[in-house]
Amino acid sequence: MTYTKVNAENRVKEKPGFQVWWRLLRPHTLTASFVPVFIGTMLALLDGKFHFLLFITMLLASIIIQAATNMFNEYYDYKRGLDNEESVGIGGTIVRDGVSPQLVKKLAFGFFGLAMLLGIYICIESSWWICLVGLICMLCGYLYTAGPYPIAYSPLGEVVSGLLMGTAIIGISYYIQTLSINWDVILISIPVAIFIGCILLSNSIRDLEEDQENGRKTLAILLGRDKAIYLLAGLMISAYLLSAIFMMIGLLPIYSLISLFAIKKTKQAIILFKANTTNIGMAPAMGATAKTNTMYGMLIGMSLLIHYFFPLSL
């Protein structure tokens, strides 16, 4: 595979070679796939069920679907004229590195095909109903920026992303290990779903003016910049409050208090959004929001693992 560098001196100072293909995956977003699989599997471990190969296969499939979704995003935003060499927060492989749009699209479908192969093994080891759920997740990943009415261009982007990447993936990761599902798992998934939705909301806040010019109707556009930032703060605070309630009623172990270390990143995200109004200025704010999700999710998962080895209740 070859590519032609469009602009060697662009302001984002991106590197050529392998880095082009690495950026296409948008690796900073992939933790949103890892975290739910980790938490769902740790919940299954607490119930005495753990199949290592199923965990790794589910993890790979989830990451691959997320990467494919990012590629479709890159392709369709380019086709609609939304991305250019100055766009912030994109892989930039098409508009800055000169990679063929058709190649990006083919790679995305290829990744979907690979995820389906991994899904076959998961279904064999668990249930063929997982196939249906997986296909729905991939369809939503494709329609996120594809089709006549892309999900990303509507006020539903945050809700759909949170439910599918948070609740659905946690539920699937738990189910393939235990062959069951319960309300405790669904409830524990809600804060994770909220934080994942917040990543999309932060992206919409950063791109508000550009999205508005291109006819999008995102939640941030409908609310306006200030109210969207308040909503972002409120959602993240509600996720922490839910976690505290879950600890008090025994759904989460007391070790889950370590998830509060993520609050520092939450505070940083809100402060940065309030202090900056340009895309470049708000990019670190979005980064802090994504890191909040990563830190919170990893710490919750670790708290469940610690509780497995050293049970401790309030």
Over residues 160-213, the pLDDT tens digits come to: 999 999 999 999 999 999 999 999 999 999 999 999 999 999 999 998 988 888
Query: Domain residue spans in the chain?
Result: 18-309
Confidence of residue 214 (pLDDT cuts 50, 70, 90): confident
Find the distance separating the first CA and the last CA of the chain, reported in whole Å.
Answer: 57
Tens of pLDDT, residues 228-278:
999 999 999 999 999 999 999 999 999 999 999 999 999 999 999 999 999
Lowest-pLDDT range of 27-31, 50-54, 113-117, 248-252: 27-31
C-alpha distances in Å from residue 117, one per residue of 121, 178, 193:
7, 21, 26
Task: Please name which of 301, 291, 287 lies closest in space to residue 258, comparing C-alpha atoms.
Answer: 301
DSSP states of 8-72: TT-TT----THHHHHHHT-GGGTHHHHHHHHHHHHHHHHTT---HHHHHHHHHHHHHHHHHHHHH
- What distance in Å separates the CA atoms of residue 167 and residue 165, rounded to the nearest whole number? 6
How does DSSP assign 20-37, residue by residue?
HHHHHT-GGGTHHHHHHH
pLDDT given for residue 124 in this prediction: 96
What average pLDDT does the structure give for the chain? 88
Closest to 205 in 3D by CA, of 274, 146, 141, 159:
274
Distances (CA, A) of 75 to 104, 208, 239: 7, 20, 33
Return d(Cα 118, Cα 37) in angstroms, integer: 15
Share of the chain above pLDDT 70, in %: 89
CB burial readout 198-230, b (16+ within 10 A) else e: bbbbbbbbbbbeebeeeebebbbbebebeebbe
Query: Does residue 16 have a pLDDT over 90?
Result: no
* Contact of 232 with 269, CB cutoff 8 Å: yes
Q: How confident is the model at residue 2 (pLDDT cuts 50, 70, 90)?
A: very low
Confidence (pLDDT) at 7 = 40
Q: Is the pLDDT of residue 85 over 70?
A: no
187 touches 40 (CB < 8 A): no
Query: What amino acid occupies position 275?
Result: A
CA distance 196 to 239: 11
Looking at this protein, which amino acid is placed at residue 50? Answer: F
130-171 tens-digit pLDDT: 999 999 999 999 999 898 889 988 999 999 999 999 999 999
Burial 3-20 (b: 16+ CB within 10 A, else e): beeeeeeeebebeeeeeb
